[in-house]
């Protein structure tokens, strides 16, 4: 037992001090190359934190590194032959592997546990890939960028041009679409969490001693929007304008996209409330206090995390970490027990019918479904199962004040909606005034960029920093600097 603990401590030391720990064993260059290839394919030019994780029996250890640190030192982990090693396909803006910390979404991915299905037992990974190429790729789903043969199943990756966390609802919708299309061949519903980790190529699967290998098809990156337009065209209008209102019946895909978008926004809001209050809670008098609402906030976090990620285990892990963000956290056992209703409510939510129904079926549902506080009517009169709180209810339960609403996405009142509308209209009026000056669309865009460059220059940013932030060339920034200087000198003369 003591020897095992010493070994676990040694593994922990390696993964947490990867950049400085010495390497003792001879490294297999082929295995290291495979691991580096996977890291490079997923994270080239990624500026976020990447999770590297190690599992030995029931012990889980993870740490976060920048891409260059990881690539240079990954051989030290490849030397560990008695543990499973995992890598996060996406990155995080701080070293915490939680959905709300996503920095960049670099790929779409699906785990295929084909060996769990009777008709595919005994088939090799190569035979399954042949079947995918024959019946699925270029038909149900796009051709993959690369596949990791994980020693038991396979993981399919589609590289995408990196997108920030704001694209998470769309990314999630495409993931669930791929999952549905590949479900009949063993797609794992737990594999589509944006914060997940998956097996690293060049390592050994400890369940069966098989090596993990990478098979590259195409290193070109897809555009997430192109995939959506080609495979989920019914979402076009909703992706372009999230606030669009369309009459008539919506498809199941649209309904789910809207609900997942809401769950994600709610999740981000509950984290923002905790951050805004710096870990404190707010009482009914509007005062910040150490103990109040913690149980409710943890429950809401766990419920919305379940609904968005469909991963109950990860939702609980993240809820426990969210709880640690309070000045005075609840005991872990209390969080587990007092928020367990979130999982039951999530299972109820899964029972919802999102398919369009005939009028007679809707009328029957109205009769069959009992009224309840946890069910919210849609326009047909059908009540959604699960917890579907109104904004006014959440504002009251969480004692949200006006200053807090200004930083939230969805938990806002009518007054805040009007304030945002007024701000939006002010910007529109400014744009219209510029149009009245006879400027073309391109001239307006250029003028706006010059204005932005001047504002950033006044804030003390360097030319290189401005170019990087605005994604324009340094020569363009220099040209704008010259233009700003000339206009300033002309204003002095006049």
Q: Which of 148-162, 254-268, 344-358 has the highest mean pLDDT?
A: 148-162
Q: Which residues contact 362 (CB under 8 A, 6 or more apart)?
A: 380, 381, 382
Interatomic CA distance for residues 113 and 191, integer angstroms: 10
Taking 80 as the threshold, does the pLDDT of residue 472 lie above it?
A: yes
- Tell me the pLDDT of the chain averaged across its residues: 85
Interatomic CA distance for residues 90 and 47, integer angstroms: 11
DSSP 371: P
pLDDT in tens, 54-82: 998 888 999 999 999 999 999 888 888 78
User: Average of pLDDT values for 310-314?
Assistant: 89
**pLDDT reported for residue 381:** 38
**pLDDT reported for residue 365:** 37
**pLDDT reported for residue 438:** 66
User: Average of pLDDT values for 159-168?
Assistant: 92
DSSP 64: E
Interatomic CA distance for residues 130 and 123, integer angstroms: 11
**pLDDT reported for residue 435:** 58
**pLDDT reported for residue 10:** 81
Interatomic CA distance for residues 85 and 202, integer angstroms: 10
**pLDDT reported for residue 384:** 65
pLDDT in tens, 296-307: 999 999 999 998
Question: How would residue 357 be classed by pLDDT, with cut points 50, 70 and 90?
Answer: very low
Scored b (16 or more CB within 10 A) or e, 303-340 reads bbbbbbbbbbebbbbbbbebbebbeebbeeeebbebbe
**pLDDT reported for residue 377:** 52
User: Average of pLDDT values for 341-366?
Assistant: 66
pLDDT in tens, 239-286: 766 665 666 566 677 887 888 889 999 999 999 999 999 999 999 999
Q: Which residues contact 183 (CB under 8 A, 6 or more apart)?
A: 189
User: Strand pairing of 91-92 and 84-87?
Assistant: unpaired
DSSP 284: T
pLDDT in tens, 193-245: 899 999 999 999 988 888 899 999 999 999 999 999 999 888 877 776 666 56
Question: How would residue 379 be classed by pLDDT, with cut points 50, 70 and 90?
Answer: very low
**pLDDT reported for residue 385:** 76
Q: Which residues contact 54 (CB under 8 A, 6 or more apart)?
A: 11, 15, 60, 61, 62, 77, 80, 83, 84, 85, 86
pLDDT in tens, 105-116: 999 999 999 999
Taking 70 as the threshold, does the pLDDT of residue 17 lie above it?
A: yes
DSSP 234: G
Supply φ then ψ for residue 349, to 5 degrees. Answer: -60, -35
Question: How would residue 382 be classed by pLDDT, with cut points 50, 70 and 90?
Answer: very low
pLDDT in tens, 411-461: 999 999 999 999 888 887 776 665 556 667 777 788 888 888 888 888 888
8 A C-beta contact, residue 133 and residue 194: no
User: How many other C-beta atoms can be found within 10 angstroms of the C-beta atom of residue 236?
Assistant: 13
**pLDDT reported for residue 447:** 83
**pLDDT reported for residue 11:** 82
Taking 80 as the threshold, does the pLDDT of residue 372 lie above it?
A: no
User: How many other C-beta atoms can be found within 10 angstroms of the C-beta atom of residue 41?
Assistant: 20
Where do the domains of the chain lie, and which CATH numbers do they carry? 2-230 (3.30.70.1790), 252-405 (no CATH), 439-493 (1.10.10)
The model's pTM: 0.75
């Amino acid at each position: 037992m003591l020897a095992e603990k010493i070994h676990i401590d040694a593994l922990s030391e390696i993964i947490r001090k990867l950049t400085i720990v010495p390497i003792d064993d001879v490294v297999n260059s082929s295995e290291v190359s495979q691991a580096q290839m996977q890291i490079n394919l997923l994270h080239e030019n990624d500026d976020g934190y990447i999770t590297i994780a190690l599992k030995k029996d029931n012990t889980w250890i993870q740490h976060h590194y920048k891409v260059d640190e990881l690539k240079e030192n990954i051989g030290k982990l490849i030397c560990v032959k008695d543990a499973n090693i995992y890598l996060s396909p996406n990155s995080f803006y701080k070293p915490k592997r939680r959905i709300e910390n996503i920095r960049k979404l670099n790929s779409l991915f699906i785990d295929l546990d084909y060996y769990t299905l009777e008709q595919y037992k005994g088939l090799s990974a190569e035979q399954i890939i042949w079947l995918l190429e024959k019946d699925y790729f270029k038909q149900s789903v796009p051709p993959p960028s690369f596949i990791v043969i994980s020693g038991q199943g396979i993981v399919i990756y589609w590289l995408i041009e990196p997108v920030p966390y704001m694209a998470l609802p769309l990314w999630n919708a495409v993931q669930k679409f791929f999952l549905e299309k590949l479900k009949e061949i063993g797609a794992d519903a737990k594999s589509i969490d944006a914060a997940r980790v998956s097996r690293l190529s060049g390592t050994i699967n400890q369940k069966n001693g098989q090596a993990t290998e990478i098979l590259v098809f195409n290193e070109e990156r897809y555009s997430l929007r192109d995939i959506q337009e080609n495979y989920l065209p019914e979402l076009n209008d909703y992706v372009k304008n999230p606030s669009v209102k369309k009459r008539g019946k919506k498809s199941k895909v649209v309904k789910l996209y809207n609900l997942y978008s809401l769950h994600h926004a709610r999740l981000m809001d509950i984290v923002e409330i905790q951050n805004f209050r710096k870990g404190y809670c707010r009482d009914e008098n509007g005062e910040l206090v150490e103990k109040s609402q913690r149980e409710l906030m943890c429950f809401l976090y766990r419920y919305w995390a379940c609904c968005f990620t469909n991963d109950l285990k990860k939702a609980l892990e993240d809820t426990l970490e969210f709880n640690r963000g309070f000045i005075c956290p609840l005991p872990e056992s209390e969080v587990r027990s007092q928020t367990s209703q979130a999982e039951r409510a999530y299972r109820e939510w899964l029972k919802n019918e999102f398919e369009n129904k005939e009028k007679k079926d809707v009328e029957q549902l109205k009769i069959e479904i009992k009224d309840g506080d946890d069910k919210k009517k849609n326009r047909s009169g059908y009540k959604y199962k699960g917890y579907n709180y109104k904004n006014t209810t959440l504002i009251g339960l969480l004692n949200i004040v006006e200053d807090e609403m200004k930083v939230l996405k969805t938990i806002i009142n009518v007054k805040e909606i009007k304030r945002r509308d007024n701000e939006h209209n002010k910007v529109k009026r400014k744009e219209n005034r510029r149009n009245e000056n006879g400027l073309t669309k391109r001239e307006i865009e250029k003028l706006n960029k010059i204005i932005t460059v001047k504002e950033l220059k006044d804030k003390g940013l360097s030319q290189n920093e401005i170019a990087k932030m605005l994604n324009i060339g340094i020569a363009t920034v220099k040209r704008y600097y010259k233009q700003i200087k000339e206009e300033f000198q002309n204003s002095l003369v006049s």
